[in-house]
Structure formats: structure tokens, C-alpha cells
Amino acid sequence: MCNHNDYEEDIKQLFINNSQWVDEINQRDELFFSNLSTQQTPEYLWIGCSDSRVPANELVKMDPGMVFVHRNIANLVNSGDMNVLAVIQYAVEILKVKHIIVTGHYGCGGVQAAINTSNPDLIDNWIRPIRKYYQRAKSGLKNLSTDEQVDRLCEINVIEQVRNICYIPVIKKAWRDGQALSIHGFIYDIKDGHLHNLNVTVDNADDAEKAVSRK
Ligand SMILES: [Zn+2]
């Protein structure tokens, strides 16, 4: 059992931080929260990794209300995942976001695990698609160090998710209806804090296949 006092302190800190955060925002803009409470009109849907070192809003300096966020281990978009599909549908059809950004990060533990030996657990089941990407890319990666292989696979994983998004019926319909919607692939470097564009942006159905297969 955990020590009662220990966890009380940890949790108390969150509320202290929250009050400070509210004060800071109110000092900057006293109408911020009242304006925000009436609506959300984010232009971006961010699909990123759950890794605690890759905070969505923070690293692109975006205030609350500006980014609709979905995060899971290794930023995957699986066609059988109701959660991510519902997020994408809501973002595209209701919020009408203009950009969907898949953001991976170098040194991703989920991607790393997909290179290693398989384990019969839930996480292994979740990252199974990455094992498939690795098998496909393996011969081209063999001259790289293990870390370089992981980083290259992190990039490949992002590109594959951009491709997966292009095939979701909601996305195809949005493009067919003339909705302005671009899908992007970014990668974040935990070592220096910089975000990089993988330049695999797709903004229409015709370009979907050729744009993502270039890389
Ligand atoms: Zn990760």
C-alpha cells in the first residue's frame, strides 16, 4: 500500500499549480476563460504519443482552445480503434479542423518495443502494426545503429499513420465535399525540443497515395 501522506502531497501540488496557472492567464487576459467557455474552434487535430515528454499544446505554444488532442502509445491510427476514429470524425465533421497533424517522436518506447522480441501482452498487441512496418523496412535499415533504426522507424510510423488517415471514410468524404483539410506528419526531437516536418502533407484524395508513398 502507498503512504497516504505521500500521495496527498503529490495530488495537492496539482491543485496549487492549477491555481497559479489560472492566475497567470487571468493576468494576461481576464476574459480568457469566459470566452473559452462559450465555444471551441480549434484549427488543428493533434494525434501524438502519450509520452510525458511530448506535450501537445506546449511545444507549439498553443493556448487551450486551439488544438484538439488525441494521444496514445506510439501515435497510432488503427482502423479498428473506435476512440481515434470518433475523435477524427468529431474534429472533421463538427469542429471542422483544417489540419490533422500526426506527431511522432524520436526514441519512442512503443516503436522501440516493436523492434524487440514479442511479448504476449496488451501493449504488444497494440504496437503490432509497427512490427509490420519494421519487417517491411528491415533490409533498408540493417546498416544503421540500433538507435538510428528506432528513429527511422519512428519516422516511418508517422508516415504510415498519415496514410491510414487518408483512407478513413470521414476524410474521403470531407475531401469529396470540398472541405479544406490537410493531413501532416511531424516528428519531435526530445533531445533538443525541436519539431520537424516530414513533408508528407496530403490535402486531397488524388494525392493521398502518391504523396505518402514518396518517402
Ligand atoms: Zn512515444
pLDDT per position as a tens digit, 196-215: 999 999 999 888 866 656 54
- State which fold the 41-213 domain adopts: Beta-carbonic Anhydrase; Chain A (3.40.1050)
Q: Please indicate whether residue 108 is annotated as part of the active site.
A: yes
Specify the amino acid at residue 168.
I
**What whole-number distance in Å separates Cα of residue 193 and Cα of residue 115?**
25
Residue among 171, 156, 153, 155 at smallest CA distance from 208: 171
Compute the residue count for the chain. Answer: 215
Residues ≥6 apart with Cβ < 8 Å to 197 = 184, 185, 186
Whole-number pLDDT of residue 38: 86
* Section 117-143 average pLDDT: 90
105 assigned to active site: yes
- Examine the pLDDT at 30 and tell me if it is beyond 80: yes
Kindly state the cell numbers that stand for 99.
489540419
- Distance in Å, CA 207 to ligand 1 centroid: 28
Predicted confidence (pLDDT) per residue in 50-62, tens digit: 999 999 999 999 9
Q: How far is the CA of 49 from the centre of ligand 1 (A)?
A: 5
In this predicted structure, the answer to whether residue 119 has a pLDDT above a threshold of 90 is no
CA angle 63, 184, 200 (to 5 degrees): 155
Single-letter amino acid code for the residue at 28 = R
User: Hey, which residues does 69 pair with through a beta bridge?
Assistant: 46
Looking at per-residue pLDDT, the higher value among 6 and 48 belongs to 48
